Amino acid sequence: MAAIKCENCGKMISDKGKTCPYCNIPLALPKKKSVFPKWVVVVISLVLLAASISFVAYSRYQYKQKRINENFDFSMRMISGDLFRMAQKSDLIVVEINNAWREAIFSETNKRDFNEAIVDVKESRSEDIKELIKLSASIEKSLKETVIPEGKQLQFDKIKEFYLLEFSKNSAGHYSQYVR
């Protein structure tokens, strides 16, 4: 218990009371000063708010970049798989065309016309040719829709170059489409 001086009568009284027992005037107890001024609390609050907003924004940016990289890697794997299937199908067709050409030119017993042999190959491999065209359209679409993340442009260019080269030499493609 501390003693304080009444501002009205000047006598020493207890700080626990709400009025002076001598003059019945309400005591004006000294206000406790806060440890920090209000402006310091406001500034600290604003800094913390800005830091938390920045953290959330950066976390969302990192998550988005991670998703873009994952999607890019997935697209490149899918395109690579399609390219592999394209190469397999077109190689089989090329082998049959080469065999038909060899038979038409070098065979002494089979004097079949080369054009007829090519028509036969085209008819026997029509499903493969349709699949090559579908694969090509799928790859074209994937190449156009792929979002290229930072630092992955070279990888994308190599896949695209390989596709265009493969497309130019497979049985469903033409060199004129490669040089667009």
pLDDT (0 to 100) of residue 176: 52
Output the pLDDT for position 175. Answer: 45
Q: How many CA atoms lie within 13 A of 150 on its CB side?
A: 4
pLDDT value, residue 84: 86
**Residue 178 pLDDT more than 50?**
no
User: Is the model's pLDDT at 29 over the cut of 70?
Assistant: no
- Minimal CA–CA distance to 50: which of 39, 42, 62? 42
pLDDT at site 45: 95
pLDDT at 44: 94
Mean per-residue pLDDT, 102-119: 74
Q: What is the pLDDT of residue 90?
A: 82
Q: Is 177 helix (H, G, I), strand (E, B) or coil?
A: helix
Average pLDDT over residues 78-102: 84
pLDDT per residue as tens digits for the range 142-173? 888 888 998 899 988 988 888 877 666 555 55
pLDDT band at 111 (very low <50, low <70, confident <90, very high): low
Confidence (pLDDT) at 70: 93
For the chain, the average pLDDT equals 82
pLDDT-derived band at 109, boundaries 50, 70, 90? low
Strand-pairing partners, residue 31, are: none
Question: Would you give the DSSP letter of residue 33?
Answer: P
Tens digits of residue pLDDT in 30-68: 566 667 788 888 999 999 999 999 999 999 999 999 999
As a whole number of angstroms, the distance between CA 163 and CA 170 comes to 10
pTM of the model: 0.55
Sequence spans of domains, the chain: 1-30, 68-178
